[in-house]
Amino acid sequence: MKNIKTQVGIIGAGPAGLTLAIWLKKNGIDSVILERKSREYIENRTRAGLLEQNTVDIFKSLGVADRLIEKGLEHHGVFLSFNGKRVRVPFDELTGGRKITVYGQQEVIKDLVADWISSGGKIYFEAQAERIEDFETNNPKIKFIHEEEEGMIDCDFVIGCDGFHGIGRKTLPKESYTEYSHCYPFSWLGILAHVAPSSEELIYAYHENGFALSSLRSENISRLYLQVDNNDSLENWSDERIWEELAIRLGTEGWELKTGPIFEKSITPMRGFMIDNLQFGRLFLAGDSAHIVPPTGGKGLNLAVADVKHLVDGLLDFYKNNSMETLNGYTETALKRIWRAQDFSNFMTALFHKQEEHGSFQYSMQAAKFDYIAISKAYATTIAENYVGLPFEVFE
C-alpha cells in the first residue's frame, strides 16, 4: 500500500486539476494528482479550443504560457451568420481590448503536465481514485489503485477535478445539493482537417439545415462542427457529405469553404448540467465534476480554470491565515460565474441551432435576436463581453 501524505489531494489531471496543482505549488502548498488515464492519452484528447482572456492571463501569471504565446492565435472578433447573412462582433471596441485565443486543449494539457513534472510535482498516471473517505473530518483520504496496488492519499483537502464521470460529485451526499440538467435535442459532429481555415476568425452559423461552426487549430488545421440529430452516427457522414453540408450552412456571398483531408471525426451530445453545491466538509469540486455547458459558448475549459482561481483564493486564506472563511464561500462565489456561463452557452445554443421549422414562433424569435445583434451595439456588447470572459472583479 502506497501511503502518501500531502496537503491537497487532487483527483484528475485535466485543466482544473493541473492548473490547481501548479498554482498551489507557486504558493508553497503541496499537492498530489491522481489521473486514471495515461499521460499520452490526456495529452492527445481533442476537446476545447478557445481560451478566454482570464484563462490566458492566469496561465501567463503561472509561467506556463510560453508555447501558448508562441502558437496561440489571438482573435479580436467573431462572425455570426444567420441564413447566409454574416455580421462581425468586434471585441476590441466592445470590451476595451479583451480577446480570445485559439489554442487546443491538448496543447494546454501538454504545457501544464510538462511544467508540473519539471518542477518536481507528484502525479500518478493510470491511477484510479476509488473512494474518498473522512471528508467530513480535517483529515480526508483518497483510496486509489495504481499498478494493481492499493494506495492512500492522506491530506487536509480533497479536490474533485475528475470531470463529469468522476467520483467527486458522486461522493457528495445527495441531500447536500440540487441537480440541474438540460439535454438539447441535437449533437455536434466535430472534425479536424488538414486544410487552412477558410476564415481568420470563428464563424457561428444558423442555417435551415442546422448549425455549423468554423474554428481552427493552426494556420493549416481547421476545426469544424455540424449540428446532427442525437441518434445520428458517423457512418452516415462521409467526408464529402460533411464538406458539402458545411459549405451550405456556413456559406455567404463572396466566401468559399476550403476543404481537405479529415483526420478526426466525433459526435458529442449537447447538454447543460450542474449542481449548486461544490463543497462538503474538506471535499471540494472544480470544473466538469460540478458542471457541463454546451460548447457553443466555448466556456467549458475556461469555467474550470475560473473555479480553480476561487479555490486557490480559499486555500491560500486557509494556509496563510488559518481561516476557512473564503473556502466556505467558494460555492457562492463560483456559482455566480457558472450560472452566467450556463446562460450564455444556452443563449448561443438556442440562437444558432435549428429547432423548429421556418415560420414557427421559435424560429422568428431566433431571427429577431440575430437582426437585433446586427443593429444594436448594446446587444452585440453583451455577446462580446460574455464570449471573451467577464473580468473576475465584476462578480465581486
9 binds ligand FAS (CB under 6 A): no
Among 81, 101, 105, 331, binds ligand FAS (CB under 6 A): 105
Min dist. Cβ of residue 328 to ligand PHB (A): 34
State which of positions 266-285 bind ligand FAS (CB under 6 A). Answer: 268
Task: Please list the active-site residues.
Answer: 75, 204, 295, 299, 387
Q: Which does 223 bind (CB under 5 to 8 A by kind): ligand FAS, ligand PHB, none?
A: ligand PHB
Q: Are 176 and 302 spatial neighbours (Cβ–Cβ below 8 Å)?
A: no
CA distance 383 to 235: 36
Q: Are 159 and 307 spatial neighbours (Cβ–Cβ below 8 Å)?
A: no
Report which of 101, 126, 327, 351 is spatially closest to residue 201, judged by C-alpha positions. Answer: 101
Report which of 68, 56, 114 is spatially closest to residue 391, judged by C-alpha positions. Answer: 56
| Nearer of residues 44 and 328 to ligand PHB, judged by Cβ | 44
CA distance 340 to 295: 14
160 binds ligand FAS (CB under 6 A): no
37 binds ligand FAS (CB under 6 A): yes
Among 10, 13, 58, 351, binds ligand FAS (CB under 6 A): 13
Cell reading at 232:
445520428
| Nearer of residues 296 and 333 to ligand PHB, judged by Cβ | 296
Q: Are 189 and 267 spatial neighbours (Cβ–Cβ below 8 Å)?
A: yes
Alpha carbon 142 to its chain's center: 25
Cell reading at 282:
474538506
The partner residues of 256 in beta bridges, in order of sequence, read none
16 binds ligand FAS (CB under 6 A): yes
The partner residues of 228 in beta bridges, in order of sequence, read 187
CA distance 244 to 336: 41
Among 210, 272, 287, 389, binds ligand FAS (CB under 6 A): 287
Report which of 275, 271, 272, 273 is spatially closest to residue 179, judged by C-alpha positions. Answer: 275
301 binds ligand FAS (CB under 6 A): yes
Min dist. Cβ of residue 21 to ligand FAS (A): 11
| Nearer of residues 72 and 297 to ligand PHB, judged by Cβ | 297
**Which residues touch 396 (CB under 8 Å, ≥6 apart)?**
none
Total binding residues for ligand FAS by CB under 6 A?
33
| Nearer of residues 155 and 242 to ligand PHB, judged by Cβ | 242
- The residues of the shown chain that bind ligand PHB, judged by CB under 6 A, are 48-50, 202, 215, 223, 295-298
Q: Which does 121 bind (CB under 5 to 8 A by kind): ligand PHB, ligand FAS, none?
A: none
Interface positions with ligand FAS (CB under 6 A): 11-17, 34-37, 42, 47-50, 105, 128-129, 161-163, 166-167, 268, 287-288, 295, 298-301, 304
